[in-house]
Amino acid sequence: MAAEKIAVTRQTFDNVILPVYAPAQFVPVKGKGSRVWDQQGKEYIDFSGGIAVTALGHCHPALVETLKQQGETLWHTSNVFTNEPALRLASKLIAATFADRVFFGNSGAEANEAAFKLARYYACKKHSPFKSKIIAFHNAFHGRTLFTVSVGGQPKYSDGFGPKPADIVHVPFNDLEAVKAVIDDHTCAIVVEPIQGEGGVMPASPAFMQGLRALCDEHNALLVLDEVQSGMGRSGKLFAYEHYGIQPDIITTAKALGGGFPVSAMLTTHEIAAVMAPGVHGTTYGGNPLACAIAETALDIINTPEVLSGVDARRQQFVEALQAIDHKFDLFSEIRGKGLLIGAVLKPQHASKARDILHAAAAEGVMVLTAATDVIRFVPSLVIEPTDIEEGMARFARAVEKVLAA
């Protein structure tokens, strides 16, 4: 028997959900490709991708097929038993990256929590229990557990929850000299997003990333890359580290890994993984067959020349449309990011209008995001149709015009 459907509206949110979000005033009920419909049947073009998650659009037929097939086969076993989809997905992630070992979780925060614990555990086992310093960056975002908000560089997310994990140092992003000033032989890891997402869509420079690699090697520290937002094709390569000519020690991935189904992974080398043993870390749901089957299909589709090589052409279309808007309204100081992680930075005189633009865009029928306080962020499906980009940007331009005229 299906669950009884009681009537719910956006107002219900305010009555029943913990008030940690301020969702838009409409309630999406259906999605197909890069189009979404709300309770009233209004249609939106989705440039927000569920915050860089629905990389193949909504209800991609291959993902739906896998969901149905695996849903009728086996959902969950726990890690007391292994399962075929997890073993296949891990094998394919290893074949596609620098890594030799995979740990599965359910969210980006969980993959990062595992990565930070592994970095400390490795240092403790291989070097010294005092080698626990983690170097991270201002404006970084790594998730919402206490360890991940503490490594993240945004006090608004980490303050007010009591004592934080100790020995975490934050320095400015893209500033190698600042890292040199704090790194020492007690450092176990540098944790960095190759492209800061929530922090304002800010790519690391090649010299910075290569410099971090060299500093880690010098001090026997691990280079941990948070690719939760930048990974799975978003940058035009499967993982953004591939742009930098470096090899990380640990990467984390989530978001687009499951195309909308919750799943995450931490990838590392055999040598680092070898310090772990049964019972040292774990999770009940991590690597469950349903999530892994869907992620396997997502990976099979994303990790193809057709999808990856289409990212740059789509970016170009976005950038040209944003430049045309800028030409008309003198709105942006910079359009930055990589691939389909695009940030349009508002000029100082418009910096306070990011949220207004987001709401006006929704009213015009296009879903966009903000990042930091003054950046409009676009993280659409990697396979969004060019006609959807064209129509969505026309709607976005109308929204901008209305906000500036108000």
Q: Which residues contact 232 (CB under 8 A, 6 or more apart)?
A: 55, 238, 239, 253, 255, 256, 257, 298, 299, 302
Smallest separation (angstroms) from ligand PLP to the CB of 263:
10
Contact 312, 295 (CB under 8 A): no
Q: Measured at CB, which residue is nearest to ligand PLP? A: 108
Angstrom distance (rounded) from CA 256 to CA 18:
26
Angstrom distance (rounded) from CA 85 to CA 290:
8
Smallest separation (angstroms) from ligand PLP to the CB of 278:
25
AA letter at 7: A
Angstrom distance (rounded) from CA 372 to CA 85:
37
Catalytic site includes residue 255: yes
Q: Which is nearer to ligand PLP, 254 or 276 (CB)?
A: 254
245: exposed, middle or buried (C-beta count within 10 Å: 0-12, 13-18, 19+)?
Answer: exposed
Angstrom distance (rounded) from CA 22 to CA 17:
10
Annotated binding site for N(2)-acetyl-L-ornithine: 144, 283
Q: Which is nearer to ligand PLP, 35 or 142 (CB)?
A: 142
Annotated binding site for pyridoxal 5'-phosphate: 108-109, 141, 226-229, 284
Active-site residue, from 226, 249, 374, 388: 226
Smallest separation (angstroms) from ligand PLP to the CB of 224:
11
Q: Which is nearer to ligand PLP, 38 or 198 (CB)?
A: 198
Smallest separation (angstroms) from ligand PLP to the CB of 144:
6
Catalytic site includes residue 226: yes
Angstrom distance (rounded) from CA 340 to CA 233:
9
Q: Which is nearer to ligand PLP, 231 or 392 (CB)?
A: 231
Q: Which is nearer to ligand PLP, 141 or 332 (CB)?
A: 141
Q: Which is nearer to ligand PLP, 57 or 197 (CB)?
A: 197
Q: Report helix angle 386-405 to 305-329, nearest 10.
A: 20
Smallest separation (angstroms) from ligand PLP to the CB of 98:
19
Q: What would the two tokens of residue 391 be?
A: 């129509």
Angstrom distance (rounded) from CA 367 to CA 194:
25
Strands, E assignment, 3-145: 28-32, 35-38, 43-46, 101-105, 133-137
Q: Which is nearer to ligand PLP, 222 or 331 (CB)?
A: 222
Q: What would the two tokens of residue 131 be?
A: 């080698």
Angstrom distance (rounded) from CA 196 to CA 203:
6
Active-site residue, from 116, 137, 141, 147: 141
Smallest separation (angstroms) from ligand PLP to the CB of 118:
16
Angstrom distance (rounded) from CA 254 to CA 51:
11
Which stretches of the chain bind ligand PLP, using CB under 6 A?
51, 107-109, 112, 141-143, 193, 197-198, 226, 228-229, 254
Contact 268, 100 (CB under 8 A): yes
Smallest separation (angstroms) from ligand PLP to the CB of 299:
17
Torsion over CA: 70, 76, 82, 88 (sign):
positive
Catalogue the active-site residues: 141, 226, 255
